[in-house]
Amino acid sequence: MSQPSRTITIEQLNTFIADAGLHSSHLLHILHAIQQRFLHISHEAVNEVASHLGLPISQVESVVEFYSFFYNTPRGRYNILLSNCTSCGYKSGGENLLRMLCHRLRAVAGKTRGDGLVSIDETSCIGMCDHGASLLVNGMPITRLDADKIARIADLVETETPLADWPADWLRVDDNIRVITGDLTAASGKPSRMASSSTSGLLLNNDFVAGGGLHAMLARGIEGTLAEITQSALRGRGGAGFSTGMKWKFCREAQGDAHYVVCNADEGEPGTFKDRVLLHSHADAVFEGMTVCAAVIGAKQGFLYLRGEYRYLLPHLQTVLARRREQGLLGNSILGQQAFNFDIEIVVGAGAYICGEESALIESLEGRRGVPRNRPPFPVTHGYLDQPTVVNNVETFVAAAHIALCGSAWFKSVGTEKSTGSKILSVSGDCAAPGIYEYPFGVSIQQVLNDCGAKSVQAVQIGGPSGALINPAKFNRKLGFEDLPTGGSFMVFGQGRDLLTIIVNFAHFFAHESCGFCTPCRVGTTLLKNSLDKIAGGHGTQYDLDEMKRIGELIKRRSHCGLGQTAANPILDSLQRFPQIFEQRLAHGNFEPYFNLDGALEEARQVTHRDDAAAHLE
């Protein structure tokens, strides 16, 4: 591909779109290709794409404006996005690395530098939380940032060194699978030895041979395999916890022209990165779980919806898919079975947390903005193209593949009655050993804290910002559907952290990621964000706290989808469990206006060159 440039003729555009379309005609993919090549998606490009794909211009335009990684004005040839997550964000190490990089490159955050060389901005969590401060440069992750690395990055950019010539080990992303030694089982995957381990190696320690689950399924029969999945009592690992067996059964029974399997690899919840590791090191199990599901529900087509932040995993995943086709594990007549045809396409998102919500994900798959649908109907009956569709999390498919292989009894030997099996946790924040941990369900927060080497902990955020903020008095609570359900994010906040800053960060996250469909979330998340900024700025009063509680409860109860319904959780939790973090910042008195009256006069003072007492209100 030629060098990215921002100048385009319509002919160039047309040829380019036609070429990109040969590769994949998915709207998101074509737009991505244009973004890469021309550094933005111009109005002309929108019109051309619409005419190429036979879509309304407004649909293409609305998609471009929805996703964070599409821009309608040119970005720099180096487009740098620093994560603003509390664990992998540019402030997570104490210094403001964003400001530092902007300073070094003489760039203003959010704006493309005058010479078009570089643009620097922040982005929501990029899932590198166990690697410290991280960024994406032209889509490639660079982790473990510090002041020194920022300086070197600035030099490489300034000298226009191609990314391929940057230090290779910078682009390496480790799995950081933490194995707790002691009563840990061997890697053999034998059930009996696992049940007693404090960290369960149920999924991660099990050697999974590609095709093993499918062979076992054929031996057991499809009905029998569905029965195993149901009996295993496996519940969705994406956070919802719906019975996987039931979901597959409902979809299998639903009438439709075609059935679809969708793997939800959007993993946008800040502090979650276990799906990244599963996709990197256990991709066979993911695809095998999808293939087992396809056999059960009668699907011929599957999709893996990969978040844009994980685009760097695409070549690896494509390689695994290609190998599986060669091995007869995908494609036509899988394992020589005449009627067993199934293939998987990977669709890459473009920066939108809401696309992890299953119906928004389906909208995105269909080439639209990621706006959650009205339910009922549910995806199991009306999903992709309104056809019966199973949407499951990456980890759910991995577990299903293992259950197809080892059976339900093996799975149930670990965990609790209502939460069978294991949970893979993404542990990050203030601890000695951040990374991936696999535990039997029912493990206590304290146990995890001990294992990851977290000392003097102030609070733990379970399940990411949309989850629950837990105070030390409750560290005996247990992870599992009966007590504290979690999608896997486990963020540790030590005593040194300013909790209010974290709550402010989360409020900004939700306001930024709200899709804007429903009033309570669209307006409410911004109201909450503004209130918190006011309080953090020292201008808040008790009135603002009361208002946040009232608005927070309204958003939680009246919003359209899970994003709005959870967006106020960090605020409501901390108002209840950590009231002091707000109270110490309150201004005296009952009311302070949102804007500073005296500050508003500053411009007038400058124009009139006055700064005497009479030119001030106080």
Q: Does 65 bind ligand SF4 (CB under 6 A)?
A: no
Q: C-beta of 512: minimal distance to other proteins in Å?
A: 7
Q: How far is CA 53 from the centre of its chain?
A: 29
**Which of 525, 559, 502 has its CA nearest to residue 357?**
559
The one among 420, 458, 514, 574 contacting other proteins by CB under 8 A: 514
Q: Which is nearer to ligand FMN, 268 or 435 (CB)?
A: 268
**Which of 360, 358, 386 has its CA nearest to residue 258?**
386
d(CA 48, CA 69): 19
Q: Is the Cβ–Cβ distance between 124 and 269 less than 8 Å?
A: no
Q: C-beta of 400: minimal distance to ligand SF4 in Å?
A: 28
- One-letter amino acid at 521 equals C
How far apart, in Å, are the Cα atoms of 117 and each of 78, 101, 399?
A: 6, 14, 45
Tell me which residues in 538-567 interact with ligand SF4 (CB under 6 A).
Answer: 559-561, 563-564
Q: Which is nearer to ligand FMN, 197 or 393 (CB)?
A: 393
Choose among ligand FMN, other proteins, ligand SF4, none what residue 488 binds, the Cβ cut-off being 5 to 8 Å by kind.
Answer: none
Tokens of 333: 């007549």
Q: C-beta of 562: minimal distance to ligand FMN in Å?
A: 2
Q: Does 373 bind ligand SF4 (CB under 6 A)?
A: no
Q: Is the dihedral of CA 589, 595, 598, 599 positive or negative?
A: positive
Could you give the 3-state DSSP secondary structure of residue 144? coil
The one among 15, 25, 65, 495 contacting other proteins by CB under 8 A: 65
Q: Which is nearer to other proteins, 118 or 240 (CB)?
A: 240
- One-letter amino acid at 362 equals I
How many Cβ atoms are within 10 Å of 65's Cβ, its own excluded? Answer: 13
d(CA 508, CA 530): 9
Q: Which strands form 118-123's sheet, in the order they lie side by side?
A: 118-123, 78-83, 135-137, 140-142
Choose among ligand SF4, other proteins, ligand FMN, none what residue 425 binds, the Cβ cut-off being 5 to 8 Å by kind.
Answer: none
Q: Does 201 bind other proteins (CB under 8 A)?
A: no
Tokens of 607: 């124009």
Choose among ligand SF4, ligand FMN, other proteins, none what residue 200 binds, the Cβ cut-off being 5 to 8 Å by kind.
Answer: none
Q: Does 246 bind other proteins (CB under 8 A)?
A: yes
Tell me which residues in 206-265 interact with ligand SF4 (CB under 6 A).
Answer: none
The one among 126, 348, 515, 548 contacting ligand SF4 by CB under 6 A: 515
Choose among ligand FMN, other proteins, ligand SF4, none what residue 396 binds, the Cβ cut-off being 5 to 8 Å by kind.
Answer: ligand FMN
Residue, CB closest to ligand SF4: 564
DSSP one-letter string for 570-599: HHHHHHHH-HHHHHTTPPSSS---SS-HHH
Q: Does 517 bind other proteins (CB under 8 A)?
A: yes
Could you give the 3-state DSSP secondary structure of residue 141? strand
* Helix 274-281 vs helix 394-406: crossing angle, to nearest 10: 50
Task: Specify burial of residue 400 (Cβ count, 10 A radius: 0-12, 13-18, 19+).
Answer: buried
Q: Which is nearer to ligand FMN, 30 or 563 (CB)?
A: 563
Phi-psi region of 60 (alpha: psi -120 to 50; beta: other; left: phi over 0): alpha
- Binding flags for other proteins, 440-479, as an x/- string (CB under 8 A): -----------------------x--xxx-----------
- Binding flags for ligand SF4, 344-363, as an x/- string (CB under 6 A): ----------x---------
Q: Does 507 bind ligand SF4 (CB under 6 A)?
A: no
Q: Does 381 bind other proteins (CB under 8 A)?
A: yes
Choose among ligand FMN, other proteins, ligand SF4, none what residue 485 binds, the Cβ cut-off being 5 to 8 Å by kind.
Answer: other proteins
User: With contacts defined by CB under 6 A, how many residues of the chain interact with ligand SF4?
Assistant: 14
Tell me which residues in 427-486 interact with ligand SF4 (CB under 6 A).
Answer: none
Name the site residues for ligand FMN (rule: CB under 6 A).
Answer: 236-240, 242, 264, 266-269, 354, 356-358, 391-393, 396, 561-563
Q: C-beta of 279: minimal distance to ligand FMN in Å?
A: 12
Q: Which is nearer to ligand FMN, 454 or 561 (CB)?
A: 561
d(CA 110, CA 241): 38
Tokens of 172: 């390496």
- Binding flags for other proteins, 302-341, as an x/- string (CB under 8 A): ----------------------------------------
The one among 375, 455, 610, 616 contacting other proteins by CB under 8 A: 375
Q: Does 242 bind other proteins (CB under 8 A)?
A: yes
Tell me which residues in 20-49 interact with other proteins (CB under 8 A).
Answer: 43, 47
Tell me which residues in 541-600 interact with other proteins (CB under 8 A).
Answer: 550-551, 554, 556-562, 565-566, 569, 594-595
Q: C-beta of 517: minimal distance to ligand SF4 in Å?
A: 4
Q: Which is nearer to other proteins, 101 or 568 (CB)?
A: 568
Could you give the 3-state DSSP secondary structure of residue 177? strand
Could you give the 3-state DSSP secondary structure of residue 345? strand
Q: Which is nearer to other proteins, 332 or 381 (CB)?
A: 381
Tokens of 482: 């009966």
DSSP one-letter string for 40-102: S--HHHHHHHHHHHT--HHHHHHHHHHSTT--SSPPPSEEEEEE--TTTSTTTTSS-HHHHHH
How far apart, in Å, are the Cα atoms of 416 and each of 10, 92, 246, 441, 479?
A: 61, 35, 19, 6, 10
Point out which residues bind ligand SF4 (CB under 6 A).
Answer: 354, 372, 514-518, 521-522, 559-561, 563-564
